[in-house]
Amino acid sequence: MALKSHKIALRPTDAQRQWFAQQCGYARFAYNAALSDFKSGLELDDWRSFIDLNNRFNQSKKAFDWTKAMDQRAALYAIRNLSEGVKRWKDKLNGFPKFKKRGSRQSYTTDEQSVKVEGKRIKLPKIGWVKMFQDLRFEGKIIKVVISRTAHRWFVSITVDTGIPHAPRDTRGLPAVGVDVGINSLATLDNGTHYENPRPLKRFERKLAREQRKLSRKVFLSENWYKQKRKVERIHYKIVCIRLDAHHKATTKIVNNASAIGIETLRVTNLLKNKRLAKALSDSALGGFLEKLRTKAESLGIPIVQAPQFFASSKTCSNCGEKKEDLSLSDVPYHCSSCGYTENRDVNAAINLKQLAVGHTER
């Protein structure tokens, strides 16, 4: 199997937006009902499986006439998600599932067998055709369809089984690349290429704070509170879009011009302990950038060489290999006292990562 997912923005009408919100509410209702049923079973020492929870919910929902008009797959997949969460809790991989609130993320999964995609529109169960902003890029059997809302927009995430995985790309003639990530420059390559970091949170920080202050003055859960909450959501959505756009453009350009890529190992949790850099690091989302780079490279068959956790790429001279112990953050031009080599700090680190990638591919 070769699974590909494509998240596409929708162009729903007002009636379709209302329908999507109803299905998300129905999925949340089924999830909470099943969770309450499961917890009551635990008190009676009765472990209820996914089939038991689903059957019991199908019996209890008959008391509510409004459930007949809903998409029943939304409730089915919500209970299945609860069952998977309980299984992970049993295996001690996460905490015990919690009840979903009304203000939580809105999404639901529908029946993939009833879904059809034709150009820039998709046919969903019980609602019919909905316009999309773009075509589906992948061809194959649709195996999962999720409708979700982010700020003011509705999206459909379509997972497709494309069949046989694509053969690795021919990278003959392309060089190995070292990538050093940072705050001032999102990514620096060994050849001196810099990809600027937009830092959207810093740009919209004052506007976001102003709108959040307005939200705090509204009566909680009132109509004006919800209106102001949507304004805050739009600002957050815009920040995320700017960040993701920069990440995707940079990572795509890097993988298209590399035969092997050397990257560093970041422990983001440890880095965030520095209170002076925590906000800037979160704004840059360096961990997400490296994850996108790794995923795209693996899909194209490009080897990714990750440096050891304590590999001193910034402190090591890329010319002679001498390690400079007293390197501070203010030392932007790296100067080696042993051989006299001088280079930009980020470029020097990227060259060391490239040498690591070249040595790995030769082995």
The tens digit of pLDDT for each residue in 180-227 reads: 898 888 999 988 889 999 999 999 999 999 999 999 999 998 999 999
Give the whole-angstrom CA distance, residue 270 versus residue 264. 15
Higher pLDDT, 191 or 171: 191
The stretch 263-287 carries a mean pLDDT of: 86
Q: Note down the domain range covering 106.
A: 3-161
The stretch 316-328 carries a mean pLDDT of: 75
Q: Is residue 166 part of a domain?
A: no
| 184 plus 312 within the same structural domain | yes
% residues pLDDT > 90 (the chain): 60
Name the domain boundary from 134, 161, 188.
161
Domain count, the chain: 2
Q: Is residue 82 part of a domain?
A: yes
- Tell how far CA 274 is from the center of its chain: 24
| 137 plus 270 within the same structural domain | no
Closest among 256, 276, 279, 254 to 181, alpha carbons compared: 254
| 94 plus 137 within the same structural domain | yes
Closest among 187, 324, 162 to 248, alpha carbons compared: 187
- Tell how far CA 204 is from the center of its chain: 21
| 190 plus 327 within the same structural domain | yes
pLDDT over threshold 60, residue 362: no
Q: Is residue 63 part of a domain?
A: yes
> How much is the pTM?
0.83
CA atoms in the 13 A half-sphere facing the CB of 115:
24
The stretch 246-261 carries a mean pLDDT of: 92
| 183 plus 315 within the same structural domain | yes
Task: Please name the residue ranges forming H helices in the chain.
Answer: 14-43, 50-60, 72-90, 200-203, 205-217, 223-255, 268-271, 278-284, 286-299, 345-362
Give the whole-angstrom CA distance, residue 26 versus residue 269. 36
Name the domain boundary from 133, 161, 189.
161
- Write down the number of H helices and E strands in the chain: 10, 14
Reading the block at residue 66, the tokens are: 């409004």
The stretch 137-142 carries a mean pLDDT of: 90
| 50 plus 83 within the same structural domain | yes
Q: What is the largest CA-CA distance in the chain?
A: 81
Q: Is residue 167 part of a domain?
A: no
| 276 plus 228 within the same structural domain | yes
Which range has the worst mean pLDDT, 127-141, 143-157, 170-184? 170-184
Give the whole-angstrom CA distance, residue 122 versus residue 116. 6
Residues 6+ apart with CB under 8 A from 184: 197
| 180 plus 151 within the same structural domain | no
| 184 plus 147 within the same structural domain | no
Rg value, the chain, Cα: 25
Average pLDDT of every residue of the chain = 89
The answer to whether the beta carbons of residues 2 and 163 sit under 8 Å apart is: yes
Confidence band, pLDDT 50/70/90 cuts, at residue 64: very high
| 266 plus 128 within the same structural domain | no
Give the whole-angstrom CA distance, residue 62 versus residue 128. 25
| 89 plus 227 within the same structural domain | no
Instruction: Extract long-range pairs of 276-285: CB within 8 Å, 24+ residues apart.
Output: 277/183, 279/201, 280/183, 280/199, 280/202, 281/183, 282/201, 283/199, 283/200, 283/201, 283/202, 283/243, 284/181, 284/182, 284/183, 284/186, 284/197, 284/199, 285/243, 285/247
Which range has the worst mean pLDDT, 90-99, 195-204, 349-358? 349-358
Q: Is residue 171 part of a domain?
A: no
Q: Is residue 50 part of a domain?
A: yes
Q: Is residue 168 part of a domain?
A: no
145-181: b (≥16 Cβ within 10 Å) or e: bbbbbbeebbbbebbbeeeeeeeeeebeeebbbbbbb
Name the domain boundary from 97, 132, 161.
161
Closest among 118, 179, 183, 130 to 156, alpha carbons compared: 130
Confidence band, pLDDT 50/70/90 cuts, at residue 274: confident
| 39 plus 100 within the same structural domain | yes
The stretch 3-12 carries a mean pLDDT of: 94
Q: Is residue 190 part of a domain?
A: yes
The whole-number pLDDT of residue 160 equals: 93
Give the whole-angstrom CA distance, residue 274 versus residue 267. 12
The stretch 279-283 carries a mean pLDDT of: 90
pLDDT over threshold 60, residue 165: yes
The whole-number pLDDT of residue 86 equals: 95
